Structure 1
């Protein structure tokens, strides 16, 4: 049977998603915990317990909602129950959450619908990159998920650059293809926004200001107040694509490059040093969307085809 696993993680202490020998990765931690719970040896060829993920994240990149799947035999799944008087899938969810380290959280484990593939059935992925520039106050508590830039960013110029990415393009200037793959992707949305500053508990009426003894400066701000956020949605992303696009937009926003330069990078998909990836900590995978259950297999089959430009 196939299980769908929805999870989140703080990527700061991981060398990315994909399992690698002798270093800490998200996939490695989850698979190791699954083998321990289900009493499966790492070299068991009959029950490999290998996760397939919607989108591999790089070293230091976070996910507030990642999706993966795993194929497992029903008799092995039953080992998760133990003394618990719950269904096997529920038992596995509870045990996995308790066993995993604090920088990984399991949202849900469920039996996957027929035709579901965490990677190939996905319609789109949404990433958000968060920056605090000189126009905002630096909160050291957010250093693990927000990039600090010393200068002011020109949001209008960055949005003009981002608008060039929307549609079906070859992002070879900003990404590296997988072996046998391409850097052709369809971007559905790409937008920079400076989040307005707003308090978590705004003062109002008699409770406002000095009458309540609560100064405006002590009103707790919301998490993203003052941040510059880049939201990008695409059917899929090539390696380093999001962080490289962010870097290109930031160079435009800082006045180091102009829009003609960015347009040239989009027109000629050739990788070179000025379009490398920006620091990873500001990037979070926020959402993975899937079609209705009856379209899962159709979508998976279609997306496996190698894409070309018209």
Structure 2
């Protein structure tokens, strides 16, 4: 499938961040406040356009999830880009609510698609197991877990989940969508302040995947399940009632990775193919 920009238009890349607390996720919805809705309204206002220019995003975050390194693109008429491009970032800063910031606005290279050209997304999930709770200044971004966590056990359990697998046991199924993903990194670190951070990187994620993985590994970390349990759940391929989807506020999309410019279109086209595991048919 081609992703050529229509004649007379320019594809523009936006790098942005937002605090997800007061948003019903990324995707625009009627009568609900969303990141996409706020951004598209602001773009229409600052470019004085009658038309709403639709954004495509690298990762459609759920309600309450934050982003530090989100990427989106929008196709603007050449005349609109020529008139407003140089001032667009500053004008958006004046129009957007304070829980969304656009840090970079630039013409995208040939073949770039914020969603399909990406080769990985990296999330962080932050947890505190301090018996006194979470620092009030961090409460909007850190989950409190009321059991002491064994980070070494969580890392040991994480290793069985790395690589290409069908993550159906850790995803909320969507009709017609594959649950096969390549998990490139899943690691846990406790910092000097006692905050335990999971770094989760994959080529893509299915619905609720990160929060489900974190929920399972917290059960391992606090001793409620053995190290081998997370891998056995994956192999079973079905949802386990003990795998909880943890709350969204501890999750932040940190960064999106893209290949070199000359490989963008090839990646864009490759990512649209429905994946299967070796030895399995497509259907």
Fold similarity call, TM over 0.5: yes
Tell me which residue corresponds to 1:97. Answer: 93
Tell me which residue corresponds to 1:283. Answer: 251
- The Cα shift of 1:118 comes to 0.2
Classify the secondary structure of the residue corresponding to 1:309.
coil
Confirm or deny: 8 A CA contact 2:149 2:222 kept in the other structure.
yes
Deviations 1:188-209 (A, max 9, x none): 11101111x2xxxxxxxxxxxx
1:124 aligns with 2:120: yes
Classify the secondary structure of the residue corresponding to 1:262.
helix
Q: What TM-score do the two structures reach when normalised by structure 2?
A: 0.91
Unmatched 5+ stretches in structure 2: 1-9, 279-283
- The Cα shift of 1:271 comes to 2.1
- The Cα shift of 1:92 comes to 1.2
- The Cα shift of 1:272 comes to 3.9
Tell me which residue corresponds to 1:40. Answer: 49
Tell me which residue corresponds to 2:281. Answer: none
Classify the secondary structure of the residue corresponding to 1:95.
helix
1:114 aligns with 2:82: no
Confirm or deny: 8 A CA contact 2:169 2:238 kept in the other structure.
yes
* Paired residue total: 269
Aligned counterpart for 2:36 among listed residues 22, 27, 40: 27
Classify the secondary structure of the residue corresponding to 2:106.
strand
CA RMSD of aligned residues (A): 1.4
Alpha-carbon distance in 1 for matches of 2:249, 2:243: 18
Aligned counterpart for 1:237 among listed residues 180, 201, 205: 205
Alpha-carbon distance in 2 for matches of 1:138, 1:275: 23
Tell me which residue corresponds to 1:267. Answer: 235
- The Cα shift of 1:64 comes to 0.6
Confirm or deny: 8 A CA contact 1:7 1:105 kept in the other structure.
yes
Deviations 1:212-252 (A, max 9, x none): xxxxxxxxxxxxx2210000111111110000000000011
Pick the structure with greater CA Rg.
1
Confirm or deny: 8 A CA contact 1:136 1:226 kept in the other structure.
no
Unmatched 5+ stretches in structure 1: 82-87, 198-224
Confirm or deny: 8 A CA contact 1:175 1:183 kept in the other structure.
yes
| 4+ residue runs over 4 A deviation | none
- The Cα shift of 1:160 comes to 1.5
Deviations 1:117-140 (A, max 9, x none): 000000101000001102687310
Q: What TM-score do the two structures reach when normalised by structure 1?
A: 0.83
